Amino acid sequence: MYVAAKGGEKAIRNAHKLLAKRRRGNENLPSVTLEQIAAQLTLAVDRVMAEGSLYDTHLAALAIKQARGDLIEAIFLIRAFRTTLPRFGNSRPLDTGDMLVRRRVSATFKDLPGGQLLGPTFDYTHRLLDTSLAVPDEAGEVDDQAGAAAMRADEADPAEKMPRVTDLIGAEGLIEASPADDGEEPFDITRAPVSFPVDRATRLQTLARGDEGYLLALGYSTQRGYARSHPFVGEIRFGDVEVILDVPELGFPVSIGEVQLTECQMVNQFKGSAEQPPQFTRGYGLVFGQCERKAMSMALVERALRWAELGEEPGAPAQDEEFVLSHCDNVQATGFVEHLKLPHYVDFQAELDLVRRMRREASGRTPADEMKEAAE
């Protein structure tokens, strides 16, 4: 039961002032700018955009600054902001095959057309703290960097398209095809209440904005044997994808800019039947920004949720659609967990009375006995 609490206005006002002061920190140091956050804490910005489900680097940087670096608080701010804006429409589906690739690796094929491109990755770094970063403008030395300037190759072919790895194995029929586009509008969880069971598009939308840590743990659980699916990273790619919007007043589609996306194609163990020879199955991950851990986790969980369609045994946590999808949103989760610290005095008073009565009943004493005892 919720009961309105009154009072505390002055304390709340002062607490907010104190919060602003603590956010600012030492005033002898310059205030961090949104441009610095957007340019130097890019992966935090990407995570806030992905889980805030709103692509806008400057807004994400502002939210991170306002939230003092608490990313879930920042995601909450972004979600709240998006409800204030009208929606102009839906983009044409983004074409990840036409990406300006900044990173692309495959764990299944070493010689793939277009090559393995490591890009800006933590992979193969030594994971040693680089103390030179503590000194402004000094180049890192731990990982053999020769200054911050990136090396450039001369032979980059601007026209080279990079086929998705799944297209390569798909051509041989060794892997299941993606579900066909039948022209139906995909379900939108931001516009209509979800009722289970849901289709694959609904799962993908929910997972794409889901909490990275939660999906990481569930994805990990599938590797440890809870809905094992023998995954391989068919491909991870990260880069810039064009956004195309149909503009009714113009009567033709317009390219309105680029967004950065990470895509993970997970290739999993076979499924075959009397009618169809065995083939690889797939899990799919697509996330705003450079969020590779999240894209991989999403693909693992997405694959686990397909157990019924693929005729697998259920029973593992990652296969439980209602459980996985109902708890992956960190804004909902933090709202419900954190509301526990708000005043519950009336609720608790009722419980106190109840526990007192139960104890009395258990000891066989009556309120009259207690009154007598207290008086003595």
Partner 1 sequence: MPQTSENHSQDNEIAARRAALATLARARRDELESMIERLSPLPAASELRPAEVGLVMLRGRTGGDGAPFNLGEATVSRAAIRLEGGATGFGYRLGRDVAAARRGAVIDALWQDPARREAVEAALAPVRARLVAEAGTVRAETAATKVDFFTLVRGED
Provide the minimum distance between the beta carbon of 188 and partner 1 in the complex, in angstroms, as a whole number.
5
Please report whether residue 253 would count as binding partner 1 according to CB under 8 A. Answer: yes
Residue 27 or 155: the one with the smaller Cβ distance to partner 1 is 155
Site for partner 1 in 79-118 (CB under 8 A): 82, 85-94, 96-97, 100-103, 110-111, 115-118
Site for partner 1 in 16-45 (CB under 8 A): none
Q: Is 363 exposed, middle or buried (0-12, 13-18, 19+ CB in 10 A)?
A: exposed
Among 198, 217, 259, 310, binds partner 1 (CB under 8 A): 259
Please report whether residue 69 would count as binding partner 1 according to CB under 8 A. Answer: no
Q: Which residue has the tokens 């009943």?
A: 361
Contacts of 348 (CB under 8 A, 6+ apart): none
Contact (CB, 8 A) for 96 and 237: yes
Residue 64 or 221: the one with the smaller Cβ distance to partner 1 is 64
Torsion angle of C-alpha atoms 38, 26, 15, 32, degrees rounded to 10: -10
Residue 186 or 317: the one with the smaller Cβ distance to partner 1 is 186
Judged by CB under 8 A, which stretch of 9-17, 160-168, 320-328, 352-360 contacts partner 1? 160-168
Please report whether residue 347 would count as binding partner 1 according to CB under 8 A. Answer: no
Residue 214 or 284: the one with the smaller Cβ distance to partner 1 is 284
Site residue total, partner 1 (CB under 8 A): 85
Site for partner 1 in 285-314 (CB under 8 A): 286, 288
Provide the minimum distance between the beta carbon of 173 and partner 1 in the complex, in angstroms, as a whole number.
15
Cβ-based neighbour number of residue 196 at 10 Å:
10
d(C-alpha 76, C-alpha 223), whole Å: 31
Site for partner 1 in 117-146 (CB under 8 A): 117-119
d(C-alpha 266, C-alpha 215), whole Å: 15
Residue 126 or 341: the one with the smaller Cβ distance to partner 1 is 126
Name the amino acid, one letter, at 71: L
Site for partner 1 in 175-234 (CB under 8 A): 177-182, 184, 186-190, 200-202, 204-205, 208-209
Secondary structure (3-state) at 202: helix
Please report whether residue 281 would count as binding partner 1 according to CB under 8 A. Answer: no
d(C-alpha 253, C-alpha 250), whole Å: 8
Q: Is 117 exposed, middle or buried (0-12, 13-18, 19+ CB in 10 A)?
A: middle
Distance from CA of residue 329 to its chain's centroid? 9
Name the amino acid, one letter, at 28: N
Provide the minimum distance between the beta carbon of 192 and partner 1 in the complex, in angstroms, as a whole number.
11
